[in-house]
Structure 1
Amino acid sequence: MKAAFYEKTGAPDVIQYGDLPTPEPAPGEVRVRVTAAALNPIDVYIRAGVAKMNLPFPFVPGCDLAGTVDAVGIGVTRYKPGDKVWGSNQGLLGRQGTFAEFCCAAEEFLYPLPDGVSEQDAAAAALTGITAHLGLFGRADLKAGETVFVNGGTGGVGSMVVQMAKAVDAKVITTVGSPEKAKTATDLGAVRVINYKSEDVTAAIQDATGGRGVDVWYETTPPADFDKTVELMAPRGRIIVMAGRAARPVFPNGPFYLKGLSMFGFAMFNCSADEQRQCADEMNWWLADKKLRPVIGKVMPLSEAAAAHRLQEENTTGKAGTLTGKIVVVPK
């Protein structure tokens, strides 16, 4: 099979494109003929060696996929050849990834593709959607009528947070860096979009909430100023952190407990298959009802996987601002 892979960690140029043996599904695994895969910041961190994981070389990167079941291993009960599926959790913790014509995945990390939902949309929504859902509902227990703030409302996770909050009748405030991204965030359902390059974010949040503050703060970037965050929280608000491995911000203990706040941290790949399936089940309803649609910024062929990683890295760590939404990679 054709695949993108690397034999050592490093810069995007370590990624090769060529032939690898087609994998055989082990017991409990499903082999998927990949139609679409999506790129995430974690893929960049693993490839660069920043996120340390034991990798079986040659290693195929990629967490997310959508496609058609090609074969099943012994003991598989959920799927059969010909079924359309999507999923995440590949390319992590020693598991081979999705940037290939075929990928073998444990059946518990795959979900049925709803009728009328494209493979590219499902792949693009996978990791970011599950992450957004885990934070909003599994951790923060978001309710209708509450107010959510999320940094980067057109980013991978941010755009999912905006849409999921809207789907349960919560109100969303978000930040963007351009008028074009402001329109996208508004179209996704944000009630207040703040251009952080030209507006005072703190003043805008206070104005949008009438001074009460937000109920859920979903932090998608490495936290650097918890004083500001705590100041902008409503009583009994919840703060979600899921980024910033090296972040060591000062913590305002007094204001935090006097407001009765809570803080939750999590990494999606540490959550159980059952926890993630609950997210995927609700995502499938929203995808089918067109209440959830990923923002796809670029579609690239599998043969250009190194260029795709370079583009993602420039925007994730380099903050280039040249990408809105997800990169989807398609085998040709």
Structure 2
Amino acid sequence: MAGGAGHVGSAAIVIAARAGARVIASAAAADHDYCRSLGADVVLDYRDERLTDEIGAAAPNGLDVHLDTSAHHDLDAAVHLLAPRGRVVLMAGLEARPAFPVGALYTRDARVLGFAISNASSADLYSAAIRINQLLSEGSLAPRKTEILPLTAAAQAHLRLEMGEARGVRLALRP
């Protein structure tokens, strides 16, 4: 998983680990213990120039799912790390224009999927809400830090998100 320490990535670690998956995550070195506390089995530094090799060593039979929430898509590396019939799931990076490894994709019988929550059906959202609420009530899923701002600070909060100044912080607006 790329982006393991982010809000979406950390939720994905918890959900995957609770479902019995072996989770390999990448994150900044300062976030490794956090990712492990969520259930990641292996955490690697996303800045390491040998990251692809390290993922391959941690998953010698390939990855069944490569989830990228970081928006720094390296499809060539991701597809080459897949097990036969594996999937790459992209959840961020509207402006990204990665190279598309056609040969490696079809020879592995693999797939690249996009996922945007705004396209989910009402039934999918309902099912997800039940699971998320269960994890929240158990205390298994919680934001690292929440900052509550007045509604009048909505523009400021949005700017902080756009500028990348809300890393590790969940911004919430109240009336």
TM-score of the superposed pair, with normalisation by structure 2: 0.88
Within 1, Cα distance between the matches of 2:95 and 2:81? Answer: 24
Give the AA of the match of 2:106.
Y
1:330 positional shift: 3.0
Percent of aligned pairs with the same residue? 34
Count of residues in correspondence between the two structures: 175
Residue equivalent to 2:167: 323
Residue equivalent to 1:228: 77
Contact 1:159–1:295 under 8 Å retained in 2:
no
Query: Residues 257 and 223 of structure 1: is their aligned pair in 2 closer, same or farther, counting only changes over 3 Å?
Result: farther
Deviation per CA, 1:253-312: give whole Å up to 9, x if none.
111111121222232112221221111112222222222223335333333323222221
TM-score of the superposed pair, with normalisation by structure 1: 0.49
What are the ranges of 5 or more consecutive residues in structure 1 without an aligned counterpart? 1-149
Within 2, Cα distance between the matches of 1:160 and 1:193? Answer: 15
Within 1, Cα distance between the matches of 2:151 and 2:32? Answer: 31
Name the structure, 1 or 2, with higher relative contact order (CA <8 Å, separation 6+): 1
Matched, 1:158 2:2: no
Within 2, Cα distance between the matches of 1:187 and 1:290? Answer: 12
1:191 positional shift: 1.2
Deviation per CA, 1:99-128: give whole Å up to 9, x if none.
xxxxxxxxxxxxxxxxxxxxxxxxxxxxxx
What are the ranges of 5 or more consecutive residues in structure 2 without an aligned counterpart? none
Within 2, Cα distance between the matches of 1:311 and 1:178? Answer: 23
1:157 positional shift: 0.9
Q: Which runs of 4+ in 1 moved over 6 A?
A: none
Query: Equivalences for 1:103-252 in 2 at 5 Å?
Result: 150-179=1-30, 181-198=31-48, 200-209=50-59, 211-222=60-71, 224-252=73-101
Matched, 1:308 2:152: no
Query: Residues 248 and 199 of structure 1: is their aligned pair in 2 closer, same or farther, counting only changes over 3 Å?
Result: closer
Deviation per CA, 1:42-79: give whole Å up to 9, x if none.
xxxxxxxxxxxxxxxxxxxxxxxxxxxxxxxxxxxxxx
> Larger Cα Rg: Structure 1 or Structure 2?
1
Residue equivalent to 2:109: 260
Q: Which has the higher strand share?
A: 1
Residue equivalent to 1:45: none
Contact 1:151–1:220 under 8 Å retained in 2:
yes
Residue equivalent to 1:85: none
Within 1, Cα distance between the matches of 2:99 and 2:48? Answer: 26
Query: Equivalences for 1:85-104 in 2 at 5 Å?
Result: none
Contact 1:154–1:295 under 8 Å retained in 2:
no
Contact 1:173–1:193 under 8 Å retained in 2:
yes
Contact 1:155–1:325 under 8 Å retained in 2:
no
